[in-house]
Structure 1
Amino acid sequence: MWKPDRDSKQPLYQQIADYLEQRITLGELPPGSLLPSERKLAEQLGVNRSTVVQAYEIIRASGMVESMAGSGTRVCGHKWGMDPAPDWSHYVEGGTFLPNLPFMRRIRESVQSGEPFINLANGELAPELSPNKEIRTLMMTRPFNEPLGYGDPQGYVPLRMTITSFLHEQRGIPATDESILITSGSQQSLYLITQCLLSPGDAIAIENPSYCYSLPMFQSAGIRLFGLTIDEHGVNPDDIRALYKQHRIRMVFLNPNYQNPTGMVMNPIRRAEVLNCCEQLGIPIVEDDPFSLTSFDEDAPPPLKAMDRNGSVLYIGSLSKVAASGLRIGWMVAPQSVIRRLSDARQQMDFGLSIFPQWIAAHLLESSALNPHLERLRDSLRLRRDLMAEVLYSKLGGEVSFQLPKGGLNLWCKINEEIKDYRLLNNGIKNGVLFIPGSVFGTEPGFVRFSYARSSIEEIEPGIDKFAQALRDTLSIKK
């Protein structure tokens, strides 16, 4: 976030006025935009309120903004001395692709504000958990001789061949390079499925709670979502049959290993029953499997795709949760007809992923450094999980309950008293800690998802301390 330069000879109020005028002139603040209150902007910029008052007076005098009692300060509909700009508000409120959920936008804005939050919301690896050293070594020791034109929209062939071996050895999945599509992370796989394999009005079944509820891409595509309640064994195949009978669901979306957000692992009997159920009904399963290689104490159960004999499962994987989210490397294993359809759409979107991250991923996956990295990652995540659990027990033992996940990056926590999610999140932000309220994932208020992977290990205890204070502040409102 922009800040005024205190070492400049130009007064702070003039710097702020110039900055706001520039944003208005460039159209970043279009006509009708509401500016922050004087007090709020002063807090964001770390200046006195009187400094912001002076800045607002300057741009008000220029005719660029106007202030009305009770309505705040807004950019004028016609900027003084200039032709009117397009009313972008009509455009940004249109379109078919919905914005992120309000809670998610609030969290993202807090992260981007530059304020020193402890981030227990972000479900990605901390920089020190990624194989940065291993990737640097690969880049220094292997010559890059690949062409720099548009690549194969299905993905870099050596990477697809490497993933074929990787999936067979690590997850027991039989595949060929022709049955693999390289994507820009798991979410692009989900997006391609919603856009190419489903139609507006189609119904799908997803776990409840589920990460899928936090993705407006389903509603943007006109897809109807129906929840499958999770018990200690996973989803119940009878619920799938009931939804199929009532709504003619077209697909079932599952995350069987260390499910996001609950950490649940579907047991082997349920896996066989669910797969058999969907085969009988003739509906495909989309299996999202980002966390299996983070299993702490024992190997994760085989994925549904390893049990699939009829091509009923579309399998999605990614390096984001086990290596680096910034590589933007994911993959889908599917029947070749599906891969061809999605590759065609992929070519229309971006002509294929950049060769550089695909080249790095191919060498990393076949490197002897991969398994040692995964072992260190699992040890580090287990340590962070145990520390978070210990602090939660000591600080909030009677006020929250949870079960230790055996893999993944997240801890799903139930608050034992009735609470309003938005108040809890607001108080968390005030206290300097970020987390995700459970209602983002489709459940009722009173749950929280903490990630123990993104913040440093030194931040976990003070982060839970801050959450405990936010919880006390929220509960005190009821008393």
Structure 2
Amino acid sequence: MDWRPDRTAKKAIYKQIADYIEGGIGSGEFPADSLLPSERTLAALLQVNRSTVISAYEELQSLGIVERKKGSGTRVSTDIWGVAHKRMPNWGRYMEDGSLMPNGPLVQRIRSEAEKTTVINLASGELAPSLFPNEEFQQILRKTPFNEHLGYDHPQGNRELREVICAHMKKEKQIDVHPDSILVTSGAQQALHLIIRCLLKPGDVIAVEDPSYCLSLPIFQSAGFKVCSLPVDEHGVKPDDIRAFHQKNKLRMLFLNPDHQNPTGAVLSHERRKEILALSYELGIPIIEDDPYSLTTYNGKVHPTLKSMDGNGNVLYVSSLSKIAASGLRVGWMIGPPQVVQRLADAKQQIDFGHSIVPQWLAKEFLGSATFEDHMMRLRVQLENQKHAMTSSLQKSFGEKISFLVPQGGIHLWFPLPNPVDEYQLLDRAIQKGVAFVPGSIMGSYKGYVRFTYGRQEPEAIREGVRRFAEAFHDTCRNEK
């Protein structure tokens, strides 16, 4: 055996060994039912630890390529080609080699556990079913005939919906926009994916807020970007930090969530908004404004968006109905220069041939109805009540040991833990007690922090969830002493 593993490669040595043996089986070097070298022999030949060989053999065994029996060694499977002489692909390797990285194991676990009926979900960033405009939707479905064409629609989205979005943007956000400058997307998430895939390339330097929802998205790492983190305080990111990062790294794009930022709840100050726009004009850096929450401001006052202040076309604006109506409707939109919108519409058409007409029709009727404002007034009142249930419960459970920015809109609360604890153990303990949350490290570099979402649960469940979390925290502290 002349082959040796490459110790400078990123791939684990045991996986290299497994790949080599699998290749040898495919080429006939190791025939079916042949005995492979013993663990000790192969370890000596390859100059690796025996445990590394064991891991390689276990990998091959899990794929059905080899059979292992104590006292008899490791043999190539007698049915390696199957009864029909067809070999099964190594799906595990295909999944590892895909270009889009999976969500981290912590994120996957939170999502799987949070959906259990026994768990109070303070992790998922969505509205409670009671906050959905179900009655308004039912009225639309009863009273308005659906006469839409059910074939493929315009690549940018249904024209009538885009016209309604124009009126909505003008009324609610003071943004003047033409339907040709709007792309309807499957929520804001798809808009971000299209921007990343179509307007940037591997190696580009981008800047995002820290902490930030964006830092939990594997797509930024999958795309091969260099990500600069901009610290967020109670007034948002600092323009001087943006300039400093650009001088060192030549930023290609800036991602911001100016209103009721996820997760901190911070609102970018008006003065900083003007300074950041001036920087964008000076340096030619495009800004992606992610705006899911500005209409949820509890006093009804909507801060001027960056897009409404942008007289140069530097801001690509992204919003959706997910955080103000229903996440399952999957209707979002992006506003930008027509040539950019057309480029992204072309990419979207390659993915799904355009958005489904049914949710577009329902969104058009809802956004254009008189009941939309009534729904938003009720939503603001209920979200503020749910926020109060969370903040008062945290103060009751922890007193002056924690402090936090009290959000004036949105659905998230961000706070530091009173004492340093292992966040993985804390999450385990919390899930055992029936409550899920998001550890701070998922949202960026902030360990020792927690994000709670109060949009998903009713006040009574929020209070019980905070109580369970406090028990889990105190238990974790005692176990770590």
Rg larger for: 2
Shift of 1:102: 1.9
Match of residue 208, structure 2, among 201, 206, 209: 206
Match of residue 185, structure 1, among 164, 183, 187: 187
Distance 1:183 1:425 in 2: 34
Q: Which residue of 1 aligns with 2:161?
A: 159
**Larger CA deviation: 397-406 vs 315-324:** 397-406
Matches within 5 A, 1:343-362: 343-362=345-364
Residues 278 and 80 of structure 1, relative CA distance in 2, 3 Å threshold: closer
Distance 1:81 1:242 in 2: 61
Q: Which residue of 2 aligns with 1:429?
A: 431
Structure 1 residue runs of 4+, over 6 Å off? 63-69
SS of the residue 1:240 aligns to:
helix
Q: After superposition, give the CA deviation of every residue in 1:109-131 in whole Å (9 maximum; x if it has no partner).
A: 2135x451100001101111000
Residues 174 and 439 of structure 1, relative CA distance in 2, 3 Å threshold: same
Q: Normalising by structure 2, report the TM-score.
A: 0.82
Distance 1:88 1:111 in 2: 28
Residues 239 and 78 of structure 1, relative CA distance in 2, 3 Å threshold: farther
Shift of 1:478: 2.4
**Is 1:95 aligned with 2:110?**
no
SS of the residue 1:361 aligns to:
helix
Residues 81 and 343 of structure 1, relative CA distance in 2, 3 Å threshold: closer
**Is 1:251 aligned with 2:232?**
no
Q: Which residue of 2 aligns with 1:25?
A: none
Matches within 5 A, 1:196-235: 196-235=198-237
Q: Which residue of 1 aligns with 2:109?
A: 106
Q: Which residue of 2 aligns with 1:145?
A: 147
8 Å CA contact retained: 1:64, 1:80: no
Q: Which residue of 1 aligns with 2:454?
A: 452
8 Å CA contact retained: 1:199, 1:223: yes
**Equivalenced residues, count:** 410
8 Å CA contact retained: 2:122, 2:436: yes
Structure 2: gaps (5+ residues)? 1-63, 71-76
Shift of 1:401: 2.0
Distance 2:235 2:374 in 1: 31
Q: Normalising by structure 1, report the TM-score.
A: 0.82
Distance 1:303 1:68 in 2: 66
Q: Which amino acid aligns with 2:91?
A: W
Shift of 1:205: 0.5
Identity %: 48
Match of residue 239, structure 2, among 224, 237, 248: 237
Distance 1:67 1:258 in 2: 57
Q: Which amino acid aligns with 1:451?
A: T
Distance 1:297 1:415 in 2: 29
Matches within 5 A, 1:47-446: 85-112=88-115, 114=116, 116-446=118-448
Structure 1: gaps (5+ residues)? 1-62, 70-75
Distance 1:121 1:418 in 2: 20
Distance 1:238 1:309 in 2: 22
Give the superposed CA RMSD: 2.0
Distance 2:265 2:227 in 1: 21
**Larger CA deviation: 204-213 vs 223-232:** 223-232
SS of the residue 2:403 aligns to:
strand
Q: After superposition, give the CA deviation of every residue in 1:102-158 in whole Å (9 maximum; x if it has no partner).
A: 22101112135x451100001101111000110011011111111111111100000
Q: Which amino acid aligns with 1:304?
A: L
SS of the residue 2:97 aligns to:
coil
Distance 2:332 2:78 in 1: 45
Q: After superposition, give the CA deviation of every residue in 1:342-387 in whole Å (9 maximum; x if it has no partner).
A: 0111111110010000000000001011000000000000000001
Distance 1:384 1:77 in 2: 62
Distance 1:287 1:440 in 2: 21
Residues 330 and 77 of structure 1, relative CA distance in 2, 3 Å threshold: farther
SS of the residue 1:401 aligns to:
coil
Q: After superposition, give the CA deviation of every residue in 1:270-301 in whole Å (9 maximum; x if it has no partner).
A: 11011101110001100000001110124131
